[in-house]
Each structure stands twice: as C-alpha cells, then as structure tokens.
Amino acid sequence: MIYLGLFFASFTAATLLPGGSEVLLVALLNQGYAIIGLFLAASIGNTLGSVMNYFLGSYFIHFQDRKWFPISAKQAEQAQKWFGKYGQWSLLFAWLPIVGDPLTLYAGMMKMPFWRFLILVWLGKSLRYAIIISLFLSATQP
C-alpha cells in the first residue's frame, strides 16, 4: 500500500496538477522501505503521469482550428520545427518543476514519436530518483 501511495503521488506530480514526490520518497526511505520498490514506484508513476500529459497534448492539438486555441498555425509550425531539432532532448529534464509538465504536454501536441518520448522521459525521471536515493544513502551512511 505504501508503494502504491508513492506511485500515485509520483503520477500526480508529473501531471499538470500540483504535487511533489521527492519529500515522500525520502520520508519512506528514512522509514526503511525497500529501495528498489520505492525507486520503481516513483519512476514508473512519474513516467506514466508524463505519458498522460503526452496523450492530452496529442488530443488537445485537434482543436487548433478553434478561435480559443492559444497557438496559431504559424506558431505551431515554428514550434514543431524547433521541437524536432532541439526539444526532444529537453525531455530528459521533464522532471523539472514548472517547465517539465508543459514539455511533456507539448511533445504530444508536436506528435513526437511515442517510444522516443517514453525512453527520454523515463531516463530523465529515473535518473533523478536514483540521484535522490543515492544522496539519501550517502547522507545516512557513516
């Protein structure tokens, strides 16, 4: 049940909803829960939250011809060129507060190949949790 809670906290933290999973991860590490279980719950939950953003973005782009849509066709074309050239690698930083969630939403809007998206987001998010766990372990070990 603890791992499921961390999974959902990590999932929510990766969506456009506010939230953070790092404090909960460290608290659970401090209580002695299995490191691998915590790492997997946080990494998978956080990655799947970004996957939800990706699919929301791919759905949202269908409304680009509406007046209320916030991006013009010209802006979308320019953004797609930029994202194709530079933006894909920025997904390694999808874990960053404020900018990370919109990046994953935008990847869906730009129709980035899903498997490339998934690999880059999973790598960045998993590495972040691995670093948090390593820092915790080095701070608590004599």
Q: Provide CB contacts within 8 A for 111, sequence distance 6+.
A: 58, 61, 80
Q: Provide CB contacts within 8 A for 81, sequence distance 6+.
A: none
CA dihedral for 93, 6, 54, 97, sign (positive or negative) = negative
pLDDT in tens, 5-49: 999 999 998 886 777 889 999 999 999 999 999 999 999 999 999
pTM: 0.85
Share of the chain above pLDDT 90, in %: 51
The residue segments making up the domain with residue 28 are: 2-140
Domain count, the chain: 1
